[in-house]
Amino acid sequence: MKKLLLHIGMHKTGTSALQTSFFHGREELNRHGLHYFDYSDNHSAAFFSLFSKFPEKYHINRRHGITTPEAALEHNKKLEKDIRQRLHDAPAGTTIISGEDLSLLQREQIPALKDFLGQYFDSIAVIGYARPPVSFMNAYAVQALKGGKPLSAIDPASLAPSYQWRFKKFQDTFGTDNVRLKPYHASLLRKGCIVADFLGELNAPDSIYGALTIKRVNQHLSMKAALLLDLENQNGGSASNGAHHAAAKRNFLAAIGKIDGPRFSLPAATVKAVLEKEAWDIGWMQRQFPETIDASAWDDSRRLPDIEDADMHIPAAELELALARIHAALND
């Protein structure tokens, strides 16, 4: 019997750690009848391109020069042939497909995804993890900063986790009983780890976790580091292109990542405004968790940090000097 567990994110829930650990641990998983789909570590690019209404607008495709409907059609023809062959060759047991961008597909594309996968598997279950709302907002802001946006350019509306929009379309298409939604919170995960928790959902033996190399990536920035990155972005530090710029940017991010201090957090006023608009959505998300889970431990909107605008105002001269020193050190 061939089963599929489809992991749909959400973003900022340790997906990179899970995907990297499973992809490089395929041999260990295979020994226990678990098969991580071997197309790549992150399956977002393949399946989002195949099922997006406008694949030529998908950022990963555009990064590879696929920027027109014609180019996307040609790309997807080759991609579909490859994916179909790999799915056909999937052995008995449980196959794992993981792509957080799947949660961004439009509702009308989900039935096609289900029908496509249903040709190769006897049963399909879907699993998603939800990051707490305030934690998600801060992580999203950090990601936007790393992507080159100044804080002033981040649309507050984009900070919303949009839980129902991400997950309910899967419930409606695959059936609520076939979709498991879990809280992403260290106190509520097995061993405090997304990889261990996911293996538990697969009823995998504990020995697998011990045999895998778990790569954890710290995505957090201190407040000072975030404000330095904000200043760098304001100065056009992310405006140029090319391999040299990409390497310089990686070095810069590595340098500021070493700056200690209180963790970056958006101003309380910004967070509260989003929470007020998203209260119903946050409540909906909590109701989707298993009844055995204490959802209050997940809901960090009840423990909002008191970060006011004043806390974000390190003197401009101090930031300028620190930024100049970082660039001087990197250019040595």
Distance CA 124, CA 2 (A): 9
Residue 218 is predicted with a pLDDT of: 65
Residue 295 is predicted with a pLDDT of: 85
For 261-305, what is each residue's pLDDT tens digit?
Answer: 989 999 888 999 999 999 999 999 999 999 888 888 999 987 765
Residue 91 located in a structural domain? yes
Q: Pick left, alpha or beta for residue 12 (phi over 0 → left; psi -120 to 50 → alpha; otherwise beta).
A: left
Residue 240 is predicted with a pLDDT of: 47
How far is residue 96 from each of residues 18, 40, 171, 233, measured CA to CA in Å?
11, 12, 18, 38
CATH code of the domain covering residue 122: 3.40.50.300
What does the pLDDT profile of the chain (332 residues) look like in tens digits?
Answer: 999 999 999 999 999 999 999 999 999 999 999 999 999 999 999 999 999 999 999 999 999 999 999 999 999 999 999 999 999 999 999 999 999 999 999 999 999 999 999 999 999 999 999 999 999 999 999 999 999 999 999 999 999 999 999 999 999 999 999 999 999 999 999 999 999 999 999 999 999 999 999 987 767 899 999 999 999 999 987 444 555 578 888 899 999 999 999 899 998 889 999 999 999 999 999 999 998 888 889 999 877 655 555 456 788 888 899 899 998 988 87
Residue 250 located in a structural domain? no
- Domain range for residue 135? 2-211
Residue 312 located in a structural domain? no
Residue 44 located in a structural domain? yes
Per the structure, how many domains does the chain have? 1
Residue 194 located in a structural domain? yes
Residue 281 located in a structural domain? no
Do the Cβ atoms of 232 and 226 come closer than 8 Å? no
Nearest to 105 by CA among 41, 27, 158, 168: 168
Residue 72 located in a structural domain? yes
Residue 74 is predicted with a pLDDT of: 98
Residues 6+ apart with CB under 8 A from 203: none
Residue 150 located in a structural domain? yes
Residue 310 is predicted with a pLDDT of: 45
Residue 307 is predicted with a pLDDT of: 54
